[in-house]
Amino acid sequence: MRIDPELAGTIAAVVDEGTLEAAARRLQITPSAVSQRVKTLEQQLGRVLLVRSKPARPTEAGEAVVRLARQVALLEHDTISAFGLDANAEESDADASAGRIRVPLAVNADSMATWFLAPLARLAAEHRIDVDLHRDDQNFTAGLLASGAVMAAVTSQAEPVGGCSATPLGVLEYEAAATPEFVARWFPDGVHPEALRHAPFVNFDRRDELQHDWLRAHGVDPWAVPRHYVPASHDFALAVRMGLGWGLLPTIQQTAGAQAVSLGGPRVRVPLYWQQWNLRSPLLDAIAAAVREEARKMLAPL
């Protein structure tokens, strides 16, 4: 059986855009045509490929089709580039997206806020790519790679996902910090377990374990400690610097004159790895090289 790349690409478009209507706009066809393509491929494969929710999401079979569609698009882009057929493409064309490729990548929030965007900006100036970033905790980004949602990911997982390669990037280091006023109020006699049980901290979201691990290392049950949830890396750091609570901040995010001081203790080290599809792709290799180069400059060595 042969899977039509156009039909597979339609499944990927629905997953990317969330609805059949949005996918239709991207593909420049009618929603009924999108629906017909989805139904045709599902009948051919004898599998349900999409859960018709809002947003639409792929089934396990649909994930395999999405992964295929992305790989085909990547190889097609590399082939066209090798022939030099996209060299004369201009943004003023009737279809400005012609010759461009969407590159979905997964990255943890702190990497995005501190070092990951710089290499992508340089790449976007050199290649006709549309970056589609998926943000998740570094412990979970590998799952997006396994599902086919992304082509590559910054992850804390050293073991390669099936069909992928893994390369060490470096270590993102964190330091527990708070404002001097917060320290004076909650830690007048130093940072000790009894004080930590009462001092509120800032958590990124309900899957963020960094603060929890730091508290456990100090002999404190994290679930008994007051906390605030601030689910954005920049705003998380701002909340700590405004005195909302203490929190673990990336050392490379600390700036001169920032309204936060260290609470002491060893730094928390989070090893990061670059995982990508195990394909011979010049574009994917160029992205990996740019990310590794920036990581060498910004992250601590493993």
pLDDT of residue 97 exceeding 70: no
Torsion of Cα atoms, 73 then 167 then 236 then 262, to 10°: -170
Q: Range of 34's domain?
A: 1-70
pLDDT, one tens digit per residue, over 42-72 is: 999 999 999 999 899 999 999 999 999 999 9
Residue with tokens 């470096």: 170
Angle of the 117-126 helix axis to the 282-298 helix axis, nearest 10: 140
Domain end point (choices 53, 70, 87) = 70
Structural domain includes residue 134: no
pLDDT, one tens digit per residue, over 192-235 is: 999 999 999 999 999 999 999 999 999 999 999 999 999 999 99
| Per-chain mean pLDDT for the chain | 91
Question: Nearest CA to 290 among 144, 162, 154, 179?
Answer: 154
pLDDT of residue 105 exceeding 60: yes
Domain end point (choices 70, 85, 112) = 70
Is residue 207 packed enough to be buried (19+ CB in 10 Å), middle (13-18) or exposed (0-12)? Answer: exposed
Specify the pLDDT at position 265.
86
Do the Cβ atoms of 11 and 41 come closer than 8 Å? yes
Specify the pLDDT at position 211.
96
Structural domain includes residue 246: yes
Q: Band the pLDDT of 244: cuts 50, 70, 90.
A: very high
- Which CATH number is 230's domain given? 3.40.190.10
Structural domain includes residue 237: yes
pLDDT of residue 20 exceeding 50: yes
Structural domain count, the chain:
2
Q: Return all residues near 280 (Cβ < 8 A) that are at least 6 apart.
A: none
Structural domain includes residue 182: yes
- Which CATH number is 2's domain given? 1.10.10.10
Do the Cβ atoms of 134 and 149 come closer than 8 Å? yes
Specify the pLDDT at position 92.
46
pLDDT of residue 258 exceeding 90: no
pLDDT of residue 130 exceeding 60: yes
Q: Band the pLDDT of 238: cuts 50, 70, 90.
A: very high
Is residue 184 packed enough to be buried (19+ CB in 10 Å), middle (13-18) or exposed (0-12)? Answer: exposed
Chain centroid to CA 58: how far? Answer: 19
Q: Return all residues near 58 (Cβ < 8 A) that are at least 6 apart.
A: 11, 15, 49, 50, 51, 65, 66, 147, 148
Note the pTM of the prediction, 2 decimals: 0.84
Structural domain includes residue 86: no
pLDDT of residue 88 exceeding 70: no
